[in-house]
Amino acid sequence: MVNDEEFEVVIGLEVHVQMTKLHTKMFCSCTSDYRGKEPNTVTCAICLGLPGTLPVLNKRAVEFAMLLGLALKSEIQPNMFFFRKNYYYPDMTKNFQISQYDKAGGVPICVGGELTFNLGNEKKTVHFRRLHLEEDPGRLQYDGSITTSPFVYVDYNRNGSTLVECVTEPELTSPEEARIFLKKLRSIIEHLGIADLSLEGSMRCDANISYKGHARVEVKNISSMKEVERALNFEMMRQKQKIKSGQDIVQETRHWDEVRRVTISLRTKETEKDYRYFPEPDLVPITIAADEIERVEGLMPELPDARVQRFITQYEIPAYDAEVLVDSKAMADFYEAAVQQYDDPKDVSNWLMGDVSRRLNEDNLDINETKLTPEAIVQMLQMIKNGEITGKIGKTLVIPMLDGVMPADYVKEQNVKRIDDEDLLREVCDEVFTENASIVEDIKNGKNPRAFEFLVGQIMKKTKGQADPELARKCIKDLL
């Protein structure tokens, strides 16, 4: 029998990041803004790979990859080449992908690199093997699960978009770590302004998973950050069960089936693809001079680590708050916009990290995907501060605010202002005392001192949170 402690797993990720902020595709002048368009309408002779067409490299794509490389402390290569990766698949218009390679004399744009992230109270650094540029294939769509779909639909709108593939060393040790790593990577990419990763399919992963002493399995087709944790958990459980029952792990490539939430075998080592990499003869080698690297370095915006430090000193909030906020560029931007208008930065971060984030997580949304504005949050905080509403009412305002409603309008329409009419509260208090006679007795006999707050809660409940809590306490004391 094998103990759980003996299961040491290592995970390596290949993260495909689409440079969504580029205006055109990697090798042609088609728009790279293909999302939501009629299938197969954002294409041209070049990205369709029509016979005789040739690729011409998008120079900004190189600049974007350099920015990412520099942000990840990767080494920009002075001479890089494109290679052809040959395989037959319907999502490819040429049946080869223009990519980069680090073997057979190939040189990708960035070699090495690292990313440090917080893991509880510790810091962990994961290293990159390389970052390389490649063209995105088209999109295959299945009718439900890949195993049961009678058709494969092919949409070439995405075909030819620019990807930077970030290949890590196998240094991650749990699905949770993978998630935190990806979150940090995402924040860096968004701070660089090279991609909007809230867009569907803009960050996709392949993962290598291996238990110590066992064969390595590659899981492909993980379509988002959220799926990574799921896919890794499934695959680890699958391998663990095999090992526990004394079976061998087969070295293979598996497909993450998002619909059924299982991995299924695509091919084993014996049938492993031979991509027949060779230098792309239609593109000339690219030279990146030192002054070009310097120029791109000059474009480098403030990155997450620096921003966290600035938040701590500028807004005097705890490191924890700063890190949580900067985890998402959208949240950090929102926060800064709000604190410009409201002089209690800690109060703002409490609300954003508390009720607002809870709601966003439930709906799996980024703050910029909602209609919530910094003005709305600021208005709500001011209303609480000047006593117009209670904090409790504030909490009920979060959902309407996410839908774009301003707090003042909502309060007016729903008439949910703070109740500070003592006579009215006294009546409610009477009702509560009658309904909870035995508890009132206990309090009077000093048996249950904590029951006092229970009575306050009952009053808040009856007034739908609108009662002024201090006035409610006074009423209870008076009646007692």
Partner 1 sequence: MANLYECTATELVDKLQTGETTPTELMAHYLERIENLEPQIHALTFVNKEAAMEAAKKAEKAMKKATAKKYKLLGLPLIVKDCISTDGLPTTCGSKILEGYIPPFDATVVSRLREAGAIIIGKSNMDEFAMGSSTERSCYGPTMNPWDLNKVPGGSSGGSGAAIAAREAPVALGSDTGGSIRCPAAYCGVSGIKPTYGRVSRYGLVAYANSLEQISPIAQTARDCAMMLEIMAGKDPLDSTSVDVSVDAYSDGLESLQGLKIGIPTEFFVEGLKDDVRKPIDAAIDVLRDFGATTMSVSLPSIKYSLPVYYLIAMCEASSNLARFDGLRYGKRVDVPKGNFDAVYSKTRQEGFGPEVRRRIILGTYALSAGYYDMYYVKALKARTLIQDEFKEALSYVDVMIGPTMPTTAFDIGTKVDDPLTMYLEDILTVPINLAGIPSLSVPVGFDDGGMPVGMQIMGNFFKEAQVLGIGMALEDKLQLYKKLPPVGA
> What is the closest distance, in whole angstroms, from the C-beta atom of residue 410 to partner 1 in the complex?
54
> What is the closest distance, in whole angstroms, from the C-beta atom of residue 323 to partner 1 in the complex?
44
* Phi, psi angle pair for 428, to nearest 5°: -60, -40
Residue 231: which of 240, 219, 241, 242 has the closest Cα? 219
The whole-angstrom separation of Cα 86 and Cα 80 is 19
The whole-angstrom separation of Cα 73 and Cα 71 is 6
> What is the closest distance, in whole angstroms, from the C-beta atom of residue 164 to partner 1 in the complex?
20
> What is the closest distance, in whole angstroms, from the C-beta atom of residue 281 to partner 1 in the complex?
4
The CA-based angle 184-185-187, given to 5 degrees, is 65
The whole-angstrom separation of Cα 89 and Cα 84 is 14
Question: Percentages helix, strand, coil for the chain, rounded to the nearest 5?
Answer: 40, 20, 40
Spell out the residues 6+ positions from residue 346 whose beta carbon is closer than 8 angstroms to its own: 315, 316, 317, 321
Nearer CB in complex with partner 1: 101/234: 101
Nearer CB in complex with partner 1: 140/312: 140
Nearer CB in complex with partner 1: 286/451: 286
Nearer CB in complex with partner 1: 84/307: 84
Nearer CB in complex with partner 1: 286/293: 286
> What is the closest distance, in whole angstroms, from the C-beta atom of residue 90 to partner 1 in the complex?
5
Residue 24: which of 64, 58, 50, 52 has the closest Cα? 58
82, 99 Cβ separation under 8 angstroms: yes
> What is the closest distance, in whole angstroms, from the C-beta atom of residue 307 to partner 1 in the complex?
39
> Counting beta carbons within 10 angstroms of the beta carbon of residue 201, is it exposed (0 to 12), middle (13 to 18) or buried (19 or more)?
middle
SS3 158: coil
Dihedral-angle region of residue 248 (phi above 0 means left; psi in -120 to 50 means alpha; beta otherwise): beta
> What is the closest distance, in whole angstroms, from the C-beta atom of residue 289 to partner 1 in the complex?
18
SS3 4: helix
| Mutual angle of helices 225-244 and 175-192, in 10-degree steps | 160
Nearer CB in complex with partner 1: 284/399: 284
Residue 96's DSSP bridge partners are: 86
> What is the closest distance, in whole angstroms, from the C-beta atom of residue 257 to partner 1 in the complex?
18
* Residues making contact with partner 1 (CB under 8 A): 45, 48-57, 84, 86, 88, 90, 93-96, 104-105, 152, 154, 274, 276-278, 281-284
SS3 425: helix
> What is the closest distance, in whole angstroms, from the C-beta atom of residue 54 to partner 1 in the complex?
5
> How many C-beta neighbours within 10 Å does residue 279 have?
15
Nearer CB in complex with partner 1: 56/480: 56
> What is the closest distance, in whole angstroms, from the C-beta atom of residue 159 to partner 1 in the complex?
11
Residue 158: which of 132, 140, 131 has the closest Cα? 140
Nearer CB in complex with partner 1: 48/406: 48
Residue 424's DSSP bridge partners are: none
